Amino acid sequence: MRSSILLSTWAAGLAQAYTVTVTDLFMFKNIDPIVLPGQYTSHMHSFFGSDAVTVNTTTSAELQKGCSSTENPNDFSTYWVPTLYLIQDGNHTAITPMRFSAYYENLNSAEIAIPQNYRDVAGNASAQSQDVLESNAGMKWFCEGDPEDEDTDDAAFPTKTCSTHLQTLLLFHDCANPDTLESAYSENPNYFPTYGENYCPKGMYRIPQLRFSIRYDLRTLLPDGWEGQPPLELACGSSYCSHGDFINGWLPEAAENMLNDPSKSEFFGVDGPLGDYNAGSVCGAENATDSDPSHGTSDYAESVRMMKSSSMMRKRHLAKHRRS
């Protein structure tokens, strides 16, 4: 019975409950505690949410000690993406998004809350073309509200000026193992025989699906707009390398509340121990700052120097080992 309900809901794409929280950018920095823990050698990222994040962060408890720039006072997650730059005369100018929304979707299908210490990366930071992208990540760049450009790849920048915002979307895994914290995208078991009735690999459960929706307002930066390739670049390269990182920082009670939607079909605000869903950051979003300001950099050129010198050191190290 349960499975047939799940299957039909999934197949028919029935409206599912979701929540969303908006979060402000609080730093640009050349770190990535998931992909390059302990190192200041990443490409530049734009950070949102709990400012307790450092090069070493691994737990939700660490993030919950920080000041969060997110409007839901119960959300101490840290979210980050490669920084988007405007390129003019070879200069890189970092662009602060107009709005960064973290959606949590398909709440009706979720079997467990997002586990504490859970983390995930969506997208492919080394992708430079559409064909290597996993379709489940739903990575897209487009002009909000404008007709879709049929001739360009989903993950390419739009080739014409946006009438309002440049927008990008990215979907995270929706299956997780609460013990190992491994995760995956759900798949239909009719086509993926190793997947269970919950659409997840064995040992995994459905969790709320995180989706990034980021809007950039380019109207002041590029008053004349663009035709063809826009003068934009992500810190990781072209539009295709767009990716997102997430370390869960939701207070456990609020993470559980996400599954208690009474309406089951629309937006619902997730309240928690620190207040209602729209109460605003406890410490003031504007007060979130880099908690490790004496290391790493927020400057593009400096981040490139730091990446180069680390790769040179790595090569020297390898050469030395080969000789001995």
Ligand X SMILES: *[C@@H]1O[C@H](CO)[C@@H](O)[C@H](O)[C@H]1NC(C)=O
Q: Looking only at residues 91 through 110 of this chain, which bind ligand X when binding is defined by CB under 6 A?
A: 91
Nearer to ligand X, 6 or 282 (CB): 282
For CA atoms 137, 61, 17, 180, the dihedral sign is: positive
Binding mask 161-190 for ligand X (x = CB under 6 A): ------------------------------
**Residue from 15, 132, 313, 318 binding ligand X (CB under 6 A):** 132
- Residue with nearest beta carbon to ligand X: 284
Nearer to ligand X, 124 or 183 (CB): 124
d(CA 304, CA 110): 41
Nearer to ligand X, 56 or 96 (CB): 56
Residue 124 interacts with ligand X (CB under 6 A)?
yes
For CA atoms 146, 149, 150, 152, the dihedral sign is: negative
Residue 88 interacts with ligand X (CB under 6 A)?
yes
Part of the chain binding ligand X (CB under 6 A), chosen from 125-133, 185-193, 201-209, 248-256: 125-133
Nearer to ligand X, 282 or 307 (CB): 282
Nearer to ligand X, 6 or 22 (CB): 22
Part of the chain binding ligand X (CB under 6 A), chosen from 52-60, 215-223, 226-234, 303-311: 52-60
**Residue from 96, 126, 188, 309 binding ligand X (CB under 6 A):** 126
Residue 260 interacts with ligand X (CB under 6 A)?
no
Residue 58 interacts with ligand X (CB under 6 A)?
no
With CB under 6 A as the rule, give the number of residues binding ligand X.
17
Q: Are strands 140-143 and 166-171 parallel, antiparallel or unpaired?
A: antiparallel
Q: Looking only at residues 276 through 295 of this chain, which bind ligand X when binding is defined by CB under 6 A?
A: 283-284, 287, 292
Please list, residue by residue across 157-186, b when 16 or more beta carbons sit within 10 angstroms of its beta carbon and e when fewer do: bbeebbeebbbbbbbbbbbbbbeeeebbbb
Q: Based on the number of CB atoms within 10 Å of its own CB, is 215 exposed (0-12), middle (13-18) or buried (19 or more)?
A: middle
Q: Report long-range pairs for 298-302 (Cβ below 8 Å, ≥24 apart).
A: 298/27, 298/28, 298/29, 298/30, 298/44, 298/94, 300/44, 300/83, 300/85, 300/92, 300/94, 300/235, 301/92, 302/30
* Other Cβ atoms closer than 10 A to 56: 11
140-143: strand order across its sheet: 19-23, 99-105, 209-216, 166-171, 140-143
Residue 89 interacts with ligand X (CB under 6 A)?
yes
Enumerate binding residues for ligand X (CB under 6 A).
Answer: 38, 54-56, 88-89, 91, 124, 126-128, 132, 134, 283-284, 287, 292
